[in-house]
Each structure stands twice: as C-alpha cells, then as structure tokens.
C-alpha cells in the first residue's frame, strides 16, 4: 500500500511539474484525477474544474466537455473559486518565468 501511495504521489507531482511547464495534457490529466479521485487524490471538483479550465483555454477540446460536465454538479460559488484558482496558477507561472 505504501508503494502505491508513493507512486500516486509521484505521478501527481510529475503532472504538476509538467503543468508548470504549460503541458496542456498534464492539465487535463490533473482534471481527470481530481474529478474521479484517481491516482490517490480525493475527489475535488473545484480543483478538477481549475485544471480542466486551464486545458480548455489552451484548446484541449475534451477538457471543455469535462469542465461542462462537472460544472453541472457545482454551485456558482464553487465555479467562481475554481476560476480564481486557475487565474492564480497562471499568475504564479508567469511570475516564475519572469
């Protein structure tokens, strides 16, 4: 069990690192993980929406569909929080690049 948790943690960390480089497939994969509870993370629709939104903005079509799907299960406040988190992520990445 400890090994599977370590590998899940590593997978999420590697996806976050790829996302920090602007990898839209990593954005999508993180959205899937948080929307389904895959890879050892808890289901978190706000976090999932954030990652799907980031991928969708970059043109990832499947992310647009996934974002719309989970939006149906979220309140307007949760969606607004997800959008704030997505903007904060982009600002953080831009600050690192500067």
Print the SS3 string covering the chain: CHHHHHHHHHHHHHHHHHHHCCCHHHHHHHHHHHHHCHHHCCCCHHHHHHHHHHHHHCCCHHHHHHHHHHHCCCCHHHHHHHHHHHHHHHHHHHHHHC
Which among 22, 13, 12, 11 is positioned nearest to 92, based on CA atoms? 22
> In which band, very low, low, confident or very high, does the pLDDT at 98 lie, cut at 50, 70 and 90?
confident
Q: What is the pTM of this model?
A: 0.90
For range 29-54, the mean pLDDT: 94
Answer whether 11's CB lies under 8 Å from 4's CB: no
> In which band, very low, low, confident or very high, does the pLDDT at 1 lie, cut at 50, 70 and 90?
very low
Structure tokens at 85: 């988190």
What would the pLDDT profile of 8-41 be if each residue is shown by its tens digit? Answer: 788 889 999 999 999 999 999 999 999 999 878 8
> In which band, very low, low, confident or very high, does the pLDDT at 3 lie, cut at 50, 70 and 90?
low
Rounded CA-CA distance 16/61 in Å is 20
What would the pLDDT profile of 59-91 be if each residue is shown by its tens digit? Answer: 999 999 999 999 999 999 999 999 999 999 999
Residue with tokens 């043109």: 59
């Amino acid at each position: 069990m400890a090994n599977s948790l370590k590998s899940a943690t590593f997978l999420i960390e590697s996806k976050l690192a790829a996302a920090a480089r602007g990898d839209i497939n990593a954005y999508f994969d993180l959205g899937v993980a948080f929307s389904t509870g895959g890879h050892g993370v808890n289901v978190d629709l706000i976090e999932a929406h954030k990652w799907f939104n980031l991928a969708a903005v970059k043109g990832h079509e499947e992310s647009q569909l996934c974002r719309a799907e989970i939006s149906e299960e979220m309140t307007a406040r949760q969606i607004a929080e997800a959008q704030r988190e997505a903007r904060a992520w982009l600002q953080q990445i831009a600050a690192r690049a500067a």
